[in-house]
Amino acid sequence: PQTFSIASIPGDGIGGEVVAAGLRVLDTIAKQSEGTVEFEVTEYPWSSEYYLKNGRYIPEGGLEELEKHDAIYFGAVGSADVPDHTSLWGLRLAITQPFDQWANIRPVTFLPGVESPLRKADDTELDWIVVRENSEGEYAGMGGRNLSGRGPGNEVALQTSLHTEKGCERIIRFAFDIARTRDVKKVSSVTKSNAQQYGMVLWDEVFVRVAQDYPDVETESVLVDAMSAKFVLYPEQLSVVVASNLHADILSDLGSALAGSLGLAASANLNPERRFPSMFEPVHGSAPDIAGQGISNPIGAISSAALMLDQFGLTAEADRVRRAIENATRAGILPRDLGGESNTVEMTEAIVAQLEAIHAEDLAAV
Ligand code: NAD
Ligand code: IPM
Ligand code: MN
C-alpha cells in the first residue's frame, strides 16, 4: 500500500474535536481503498496545557520529529492561560516559519444548503481562493519595545514588516499558477501601497512584472480597504486573491464569514519545494467560547484534510470528501454555527455516511 505518515497536533480548545473529525474521515478513505492507501497517525500533545507544565510548546527535538512525517495536521492553539503571542509564536508560527511553509492557501467555498450573508441569487457559484504570503510581511517578528529609553509613560514599540523581492515573487507566481488551473483565470492582488510606501510598493511592482509571464490571466490590483468592500458587494468578480500575511489573514476570515461561518474554512500551509512537511489546519482558532461542548463545526478541519489528500496526490479521494461535505449540507444537515442542529460528531458521521454512499455508487458503476 501507499503509506502516508501524519503528525497530528490537536492543540487547544476545539482543536481536539475537529482534528478527531478529520481523522475519522481519513480513516474512512483508507478503509474504502481496500488496503491500497494507509495513514499512519502519530499524535503530539503540544498544547497550552503542555506549555504550562513544560515551559515550551514544542519539546527539544520536536521539529526533527515532525520532519519525519509526510504532513502535519493541526487543530488550533490559544488559551486564556497563556498570552496569545506566546502560544502562536510557540506553536503555530514555530512550525510554519522553520519549515518555510511560505504559501498558505485558503479556499472560500460556498456550500449548497448554507445561507450566506451575501444572499446572492446563487452563492454556490462563487468560488474563491485566498493565497496568503505566509513567511514574512507583518509576521516577520521584527521589532522591539522600550525603545525610547525614557522611562514609564514614554514607551515606544516598533513592529516591522519585512517584504523581500524573492518573497513577493514566489507567492505572486504561486497565485498565478493556481489561477491558470481555474475556470476564471484572474488574480486580484491586495496591498496598501498608498500608505505603506516601501514594502507594498515593492509588492505592486513585482506583481506587474510577474503578470507579464501570464498573459492568459486577468489581473487587478486593489487596496485592502476597498477589497474588503468588494468581497461583500462584488463577490462574483473574484477568483484568486493574493495578499500579504496580515491582509490575507483578515480577508480569509471575512471570506469564510461570507460563506456562512468561520467554522467552514480550510487552509494549507505549504512548503512548495517539499523540503519540509506541509501543515493542514482549519482557519479558525481554539474557540474558547464553545470549547468542551462538542458542538463545533468540523467542516473546516475536514476540508483541510481534503487539501492534505490533494498534496498526497490522492485527488480523487479529496474530491470525494468535498462531494460528501456538499451532499451533507445540501441535505440540510448543518452544524449549530450554520443554524443547524448537528453536533460535531453528528456532522462528521453525516459526512462519513455520504462518503459511504458515494463509495457504494462508485462500486456499483464498475
Ligand atoms: P476563533 O476562530 O477561535 O473564534 C471566533 C468565533 O468563531 C468564536 O465565536 C467561535 O466560537 C467561532 N468559531 C470558530 N471556529 C468554529 C467552529 N469550528 N465551529 C463553530 N464556531 C466556530 O477566533 P478568536 O476567538 O479570535 O481566537 C481564540 C483563540 O484562538 C485565540 O487565542 C487566538 O489567538 C487563537 N487562534 C488560533 C488560530 C490557530 O491556531 N490557527 C487561529 C485563530 C485564532
Ligand atoms: C490564523 C490565525 C493566526 C494567524 C494567528 C492565531 C497568529 O489567525 O491561522 O489565521 O494570523 O496566522
Ligand atoms: Mn486568522
CATH number (domain holding residue 13): 3.40.718.10
| Same-domain check for residues 41 and 139 | no
Ligand 2, atom 7, lies closest to the CA of 88
Mutate to test the pocket of ligand 1, among 49, 95, 262 (most ligand atoms within 8 A of CB): 262
| 120 and 255 both lie in a single domain | yes
Q: Which ligand is nearest to the CA of 257?
A: 1
Cβ–ligand 1 contact at 281 (below 6 Å): yes
Ligand 1 atom having least distance to the Cα of 14: 18
Same domain, 125 and 93: no
Helices 224-233, 245-259: axis angle to 10 degrees equals: 10
Q: Show the DSSP H helices in 1-80 as ranges.
A: 15-32, 48-54, 62-67
Q: Are residues 85 and 194 in the same domain?
A: no
- DSSP-derived secondary structure letter, 88: I
Q: Is the ipTM of this complex over 0.95?
A: yes
Residues paired with residue 269 on neighbouring β-strands, in sequence order: 104, 279
Instruction: Show the cell assigned to 320.
Output: 470525494
Q: Is the CB of 77 under 6 A from ligand 1?
A: yes
- Say how many C-beta atoms besides its own lie within 10 A of residue 17's C-beta: 24
Indicate if ligand 1 lies below 6 Å from the C-beta of 347.
Answer: no
Residue 108 lies in a domain: no
Mean pLDDT by 10 residues, the chain (366 residues): 97 98 98 97 98 98 98 98 96 96 96 86 80 97 92 92 98 98 97 96 98 98 98 94 98 96 98 98 98 98 98 98 98 97 98 98 91
The closest ligand to the CA of 11 turns out to be 1
Q: pLDDT value at position 363?
A: 92
For ligand 3, the distance from its centroid to the CA atom of residue 281, given in whole angstroms, is 11
For a ligand 2 pocket test, name from 131, 249, 284, 304 the mutation site with the most ligand atoms within 8 angstroms of its C-beta. Answer: 249
Last residue of a domain, one of 259, 287, 307: 259
Q: Are 77 and 48 in contact (CB under 8 A)?
A: yes
* Grid coordinates given for 116: 450566506
Tell me, what's the pLDDT at 126?
A: 87
Q: What is the pLDDT of residue 123?
A: 65
Please tell me if the CB atom of residue 361 comes closer than 6 angstroms to any atom of ligand 1: no
Domain limits for position 357: 1-102+262-366
> What is the value of pTM for the model shown?
0.97
Q: Whose CA is nearest to atom 37 of ligand 1?
A: 285
Beta strands in 145-249 (DSSP E): 158-162, 186-191, 218-223, 240-243
- Nearest ligand (C-alpha, residue 342): 1
Tell me which residue has its CA closest to atom 4 in ligand 2.
249
Of 238, 259, 280, which residue constitutes the final position of a domain? 259
Q: How many angstroms separate the alpha carbon of residue 172 from the centre of ligand 3?
A: 20
Encode 25-62: b = buried (16+ Cβ within 10 Å), e = exposed.
bbebbbebbeeebebeeeebebbbebbeeeeebbeeeb
At 119 the pLDDT is: 67
Identify the domain boundary among 259, 287, 303. 259
C-alpha separations of 279 from 76, 100, 264 in Å = 12, 11, 17
Report the pLDDT value the prediction gives residue 151, as an integer from 0 to 100: 84
Kindly give the distance from the C-alpha atom of residue 284 to the centroid of ligand 1, in angstroms, as a whole number: 5
